A and B are shown apart, each in its own frame.
Chain A
Amino acid sequence: MTDMTVSGASVAMPRTKSLLQLDERTRRRNASEARFRMIGFLAVLIGVFALVFLLGSILSNGLSSFRQTYISLDIFLDPARLDKAGTRDPAELAKITTFSYAPLIEKALADAMAAKGVSGDGVSVKAAAELISKEAPADLRRYVLAHPQAIGTKVNFDLLASGRIDGYYKGRVTMESAELDRNISPAQLQLADKLKAAGILGTHFNWGFFTAPDASDTRPEASGLGVAILGSAYMMIIVLVLSLPLGVASSIYLEEFAPQNRLTDLIEVNIANLAAVPSVVFGILGLAAFINFAGLPQSAPVVGGLVLTLMTLPTIIIATRAALKSVPPSIRDAALGVGASKMQAIFHHVLPLAMPGILTGTIIGLARALGETAPLLLIGMVAFVRDYPAGPPEGFFDPASALPVQVYNWTQRGDPAFIERASGAIIVLLVFLILMNLSAIILRRRYERRW
């Protein structure tokens, strides 16, 4: 044995005498290792670059949506216009439309300009009022309906500036582009600058982006994610409540109880296949099964939640089965050895040990469902929804939007202000996803045990 290796080696590859001198073979092996490391490092670098570029472009486009330009005015809620009868009767107040509110805002703006000594310079009061969003009278009306006792007093409001003015301060609108724009003139922009200098116009954090519903094409400044966040939250609740117990129960059955035969083999293969089915297909299934057959309402979180549950189930089942499999059989033996039933062995010992894996799989599955768009388009969740869904459980059947669908929706709009909104919505979505993945990591760390 020893003789053979010595003679074989000396014939094929004469070794150099000194260890300090590398022979040809070692040099080649080292070179190939260095090459491989280089390729790997480059691959990682490309990935990191792509990620940085992606995040950079989204952040640079979207961060500005968290700030918004407002015009701060003291508005006199004139009883002569809002409540001619003077009864403060809600039914009567509700009959007053936004047309009656617009003059109040115009007047307040004119008063403010006069008080601060801002001259219109050829910009009429009507044109000056165009600096304020068309959504402002509606906001004002909502406030009055909620607080009827405020009629007759002067109330300070932060009114949304119009999308063009907001865009001017975010660099989207310039004097040159305003020349060609039907909706805004350079004179109006100059007036805005004067208002800003006078402290009437200003920029601050945009809470409305998180609470307001979607808005029409002409009012990008008023659009928000309120309905989308609510809809996504409702769907996640449905997905979690349905898919976790169903997934875990079926995994336990398949892994621990089911006999090994053709049928279970077929089921296993199909679960793996189901996990690979494109999500659009689940949308078609949802449309056919839940809306057309079961008669559930369109655009409702309940249908979206059911479709996403079907989509998430295979992920959870696969993760749970892997987690159950990774529990060493010695733990099962130990439990059975002291006379535990199979059920007791699983629920007292195997399942707690598999829990971190199950939870991680579930949260990753939920995160995937949260970002899913295609199936929701097919079940009508792309609809323009301005009304908040009611509280659960009735709200599950009300029309709602969803975060990724809102992103898709906004990118389809004409006004460039919606591109900013879409990027902002992506940031919100990413923050939710990062939080979910983070909680998966924390859960895993906390409950991970050695055995």
Chain B
Amino acid sequence: MNSISSMNTTTTTTKASPMTETKISARSVQVYYGEKHALRDVSIEIRPRSVTAFIGPSGCGKSTFLRCLNRMNDTIDSCRVEGSILIDGENIYDPKVDPVQLRAKVGMVFQKPNPFPKSIYENVAYGPRIHGLARKKSELDDIVASSLQKAGLWNEVKDRLNESGTGLSGGQQQRLCIARAVAVSPEIILMDEPCSALDPIATAKVEELIHELRTNFTIVIVTHSMQQAARVSQRTAMFHLGLLVEENDTDKMFTNPDDQRTQDYIMGRFG
């Protein structure tokens, strides 16, 4: 039921701006941590089934903004969000929205791989189980298998699903976390520097995976590596001191940015 109504709103927004489709639309978002003004007036449109990268120096607010997209900031007492963020035309900061339901639709992968200290199977099955996505054990098995396949981990772990998820290597753990996020069939996946704790080979695998996931999911990724942003994303947004400095096609961003600060950051003059 819900998906039908959201599809309708998607079509209306598409009609309103026929040039580009929009999955997420942030309108003058302000974020405060207590007295600190962490994000100033951020407005951005994010396209469906594409990868959008957020870049910028440390402390610029890119992770803060990412965590606004599935309301993970709610867990921080001092954090206050103003403005509106629309996903499929619905404001996720509407008082009627339950963040739990939102997070089933907007999955997240964190900076440090954080599998539950349980078996690989349990790690992936947990989400579908609490959302009641499987009625039978066999259905749950199918979800676990297909999620691990989508995360490119199936061949490595299919024989040891009952072993602990924390026993995997760092790269495998991160792909397990991606499988866990994929298992609840979200529409959007947020990734907060997913490769910062991984070695180059594991990073390459995760990047390849992001590339494949793009066909089904809208992906927003925060990264410190500009090469990574250039490799995986179609659109890039540059944050600096709580401001969204520039948002552009990735190709243009890294060759001929509109803003001087983006130019400086990409050239390595600061950050």
The A interface, classified by DSSP as helix, strand, loop or mixed, is helix
The distance from the CB of B233 to the nearest CB of chain A, in whole angstroms, is 21
Interchain CA distance A259-B70 in the complex, whole Å: 22
> Whose C-beta in chain B lies nearest to the C-beta of A328?
B114
- Report, nearest first, the 5 A-B pairs whose CB atoms are least far apart: A339-B104, A338-B127, A330-B114, A337-B108, A339-B103
Determine whether A219 belongs to the interface, using a CB cutoff of 8 Å to chain B. Answer: no
Check if A353 is an interface residue, CB within 8 A of chain B: yes
B72 contacts A259, CB within 8 Å?
no
| CB < 8 Å neighbour of A338 from B75, B101, B112, B181 | B181
CB of A449 within 8 A of CB of B107, answer: no
A337, A348, A353, A450: the one within 8 Å of B72 (CB): A337
B37 contacts chain A at the CB level, 8 A cutoff: no
Q: How far is the CB of A365 from chain B (nearest CB, A)?
A: 26
Segment 24-82 of B: residues with Cβ below 8 Å from A = 70, 72, 75, 77
Number of interface residues of B (CB under 8 A): 27
Contact between A333 and B126, CB atoms less than 8 A apart: no
Instruction: State how many angstroms separate the Cβ of B52 from the closest Cβ of chain A.
Output: 19
| Separation of A340 and B115 alpha carbons in the complex (Å) | 14
Do B130 and A344 touch (CB < 8 A)?
yes
Tell me the bound Cα distance from A337 to B115 in angstroms. 12
Asked if B235 is an interface residue, CB under 8 A from chain A, the answer is no
Partner of A334, one of B104, B116, B131: B116
A336 is contacted by which of B75, B101, B116 (Cβ under 8 Å)?
B75
- Does any Cβ of B come within 8 Å of A386's Cβ? no
**What A residues does B72 contact at CB under 8 A?**
333, 336-337
**In the complex, B83 has a CB within 8 A of chain A:** no
CB distance from B228 to the nearest CB of A (A): 21
Residues of A within 8 A of B103 (CB): 336-339
The residues of B that contact A337 with a CB separation of less than 8 Å are 70, 72, 103, 107-110, 181
Docked pose: A349 CA to B127 CA in angstroms: 13
- Closest residue of chain A to B77, judged by CB? A260
Binary per-residue interface labels of chain B (226-258) against chain A in the complex, 1 for a CB within 8 Å, 0 otherwise: 000000000000000000000000000000000
Which residue of the partner chain, among A260, A330, A338, A341, contacts B126 with CB atoms under 8 Å? A338
Using a CB-CB cutoff of 8 Å, which residues 325-351 of chain A contact chain B? 328, 330-341, 344, 348-349
List 16 A-B residue pairs with CB atoms under 8 Å apart, sorted by A's residue number.
A259-B77, A328-B114, A330-B114, A332-B75, A335-B116, A336-B103, A337-B108, A337-B109, A338-B107, A338-B127, A338-B183, A339-B101, A339-B103, A339-B131, A340-B127, A450-B166
Pair A449/B117 contact, Cβ less than 8 Å: yes
B100 near A450 with CB under 8 A, answer no
A99 proximal to B (CB < 8 A) = no
Shortest A350–chain B CB gap in Å is 11
Given A260-B77, A344-B130, CB of A338 within 8 Å of CB of B180: yes
A334 in contact with B127 (CB, 8 Å):
no
> Are A331 and B116 CB-contacts (below 8 A) given A259-B77, A337-B107, A337-B108?
yes
Interface string of A225-253 (1 = CB under 8 A from B): 00000000000000000000000000000
B188 at the interface (CB under 8 A from A): no
Chain A residues with CB below 8 A from B195, complex form:
none
Contact: A331 with B114, CB < 8 Å?
Answer: yes
**Contact yes or no, A451 B166, CB < 8 A:** yes
CB-CB nearest in chain A for B98: A341
When distances are taken between beta carbons in the complex, the residues of chain B under 8 Å from A348 are: 126, 130
With A332-B75, A334-B177, A344-B130 already in contact, the answer to whether A339 and B100 are too (CB < 8 A) is yes
Of all chain B residues, which has the CB nearest A451?
Answer: B117
Contact residue among A328, A333, A339, A353 (Cβ-Cβ distance under 8 Å from B127): A339
Chain B residues whose CB sits within 8 angstroms of the CB of A332 once the complex forms? 75
Cβ A334 vs Cβ B114 within 8 A: yes
A277 CB, min distance to chain B CBs, angstroms: 31
Residue of A nearest to B131 (CB): A339
Residues of A within 8 A of B145 (CB): none
Enumerate chain A residues within 8 angstroms of B180, measured Cβ to Cβ.
334, 338
In the complex, B184 has a CB within 8 A of chain A: yes
Q: How far is the CA of A341 from the CA of B112 in the complex (A)?
A: 21
A450 to B130, CA, bound (A): 24
Q: List 8 additional A-B contacts (Cβ < 8 Å) besides A334-B114, A338-B181, A339-B104.
A: A333-B72, A333-B108, A336-B72, A338-B180, A339-B130, A340-B100, A340-B126, A353-B117
B112 to chain A, nearest CB (A): 6
Question: Do residues B115 and A341 form an inter-chain contact, with CB atoms below 8 A?
Answer: no
Q: Using an 8 Å CB-CB cutoff, how does the interface string of B164-193 with A read, 1 for contact, 0 for none?
A: 001000000000010011011000000000
A residues 279-319 touching B (CB-CB < 8 Å)? none
What is the CA–CA distance of A349 and B122 in the complex, to the nearest angstrom?
A: 12
List the A side residues contacting B131 at CB < 8 Å.
339
From residue B69, how far is it (CB to closest CB) to chain A in Å?
12
Interface residues of A in 393-451 (CB under 8 A from B): 449-451
Q: B166 contacts which chain A residues (CB < 8 A)?
A: 450-451
* Given known A259-B77, A336-B75, A349-B116, contact A330–B110 (CB-CB < 8 A): yes
Chain A residues contacting B177 (CB-CB under 8 Å) are 334
Q: With a CB–CB cut-off of 8 A, which chain A residues contact B114?
A: 328, 330-331, 333-334
How far does the alpha carbon of A426 sit from the alpha carbon of B180 in the complex, in Å?
55
Which residues of A have CB within 8 Å of B108?
Answer: 333, 337
